[in-house]
Chain A
Amino acid sequence: MSKVDYLKDFRDAKRIKALSKLIEREVKKHINIMEVCGGHTHTIMRYGLNQILPPEIEFVHGPGCPVCIMPKERIDHAVALVQDDKNIVATLGDMIRVPGSKSSLQKERAKGKNVRMLYAPFDILKIAKENPDKNVIYFAIGFETTTPMTGALIEKVLQEKIKNIYFHINHVLVPPPIKAIMSSGEAKIDAFIGPAHVSVITGAKIYQEIVDLYKTPVVIAGFEPVDIMESVLWIVRQFNSGRIEVENQYRRAVTWEGNLKAQEVIYRYMEPRDTFRWRGIGDIPFSALKLKDEYSFLDAEVVFNDLLPNKPIDDHKLCICGDILKGIAKPYDCRVFGKSCTPQNPLGSCMVSSEGACSAYYRYGKLQLK
């Protein structure tokens, strides 16, 4: 029997309240904290942490939502690939519903195209074996948490010599957009709450350069409300004691070095792209990954190049998802939020994705205490 309930113990109302009291007592000045990860945005909104915390603490929502930051032209790639009935396009969860310039994978599926939603990338092995006459294309998305799983899958495909699986890689990295946002100076950010599960893979070490470059504390927080409250307390204490460091609040899962095996499998098969366009932020060098040249026979962007459109597509005129991802606007600032843009009819991906700020505000906004 475990001594710890990993959910209940870190959602405990007494602990949340106690930490909130300490923060109230100890905070001395206004602190803008960017929580990078969309999962953290959801916890904050779901538990009303922004309401429990004193007004000196303000959360600035970050770009840590791999579906939200995907520009429309990449979605259009997936839609283009699935037009050929010989192609099956498979992807994880939310990606299915994100609108491209004319359609989404969900709409294509409704038309009878071969779109599959996966719960785990390795499900694709079965799909490929059951459909030997089809090309099975894995539309891979996600930050560093999800990238090693694609690497492990590539390894299995090579080991088992499966000939009909291809990869469309859209994996992105956490530090580059943070650096782009900080360098632009548009958002006023005093400290960061670092992502929980990206950090399990990468280790806490990747945030040292953020501390060094921008002199902002970074505290890596677990996903539960007690974790986030404790992390805010640690940020307050860093400011009060004149420290600026990387701290790891999520010690039960994150280490300084991270999962070295997972890191190694990423860079065995993938390497940074020169540039990648991020919704709202624009082109960021070395911010995304692609398959290495020696694996280009697996690369859907190479093998199916003739099918893929390459025109950059801008967002819906009224969608401010880009500004929200950069931390310079909140969902309530958007003219179409909750009106013509809802989870049932999303105009932009911040509303579609379960990690998007807009979907968090839509779901939990009404529960907010006034």
Chain B
Amino acid sequence: MCLSIPSKIVEILPDNYAIVDTMGVKRKVSLDLMSEPVDIGDYVLIHVGYAMTKMREEDAVESLKVYEEIIKRLEQEGEEI
């Protein structure tokens, strides 16, 4: 139930709704629970038809950097990853 896939905002609608694209499927969602503004192109987490938060790309990029460093280090030590 709580599983929700980060979805991209593709259109802003009146009355605080938006259209999001989740892996190719477009749905109407409510922005009533968002306190920050959203733009076309932002990724948001949707739960039962409402956007809950924006995904923070910088934090995701930081995480990915950490994983790449771990892989690099292990491979240098001769581990098969």
Contacts and interface: CB of A to CB of B under 8 A. Distances in A.
A3 B2 contact: no
B33 A92 contact: no
A197 B2 contact: yes
Contact of B49 (A14, A119, A261): A119
A244 interface: no
Contacts of B29: 120
A261 B2 contact: no
Contacts of A353: 1
A262 B31 CA distance: 11
B2 A6 contact: no
Contacts of B47: 145-146, 149, 197
B34 interface: yes
A354 B33 CA distance: 25
Given A197-B45, A197-B47, A259 B32 contact: no
Nearest to A9: B64
A121 B55 contact: no
A15 B64 CA distance: 9
A17 interface: yes
A337 B3 CA distance: 25
Contacts of B59: 251-252
Contact of A261 (B4, B6, B33, B55): B33
A198 interface: yes
Interface string A121-144: 111000000000000000000110
Given A67-B1, A146-B1, A196-B2, A3 B45 contact: no
Contacts of A9: 60, 64
A195 interface: yes
* Size class of the A contact interface (CB-based, 8 Å): 35 or more
Contacts of B55: 4, 6, 252-253
A200 B49 contact: no
Chain A CB within 10 Å, residue with most, of B5, B6, B34, B43 = B6
A312 interface: no
B17 to A, nearest CB: 9
Contacts of A118: 48
B60 to A, nearest CB: 4
A122 B33 CA distance: 13
Contacts of B3: 39, 42, 197, 223
Contacts of A223: 3
A100 B26 CA distance: 35
Contacts of A6: 5-6, 43, 55, 60
A223 B2 CA distance: 9
B70 A18 contact: yes
Nearest to A93: B1
Q: Which of A38, A66, A197, A198 has the most CB of B within 10 A?
A: A197
A265 B33 contact: yes
A121 B49 contact: yes
B13 interface: no
B1 A259 contact: no
Interface in A92-133: 92-94, 118-123
A29 interface: no
B2 A15 contact: no
A196 B4 CA distance: 10
5 contacts: A22-B74, A93-B1, A149-B50, A262-B52, A355-B2
Nearest first, the 4 closest Cβ-Cβ pairs linking A and B are A120-B49, A6-B6, A251-B59, A261-B35
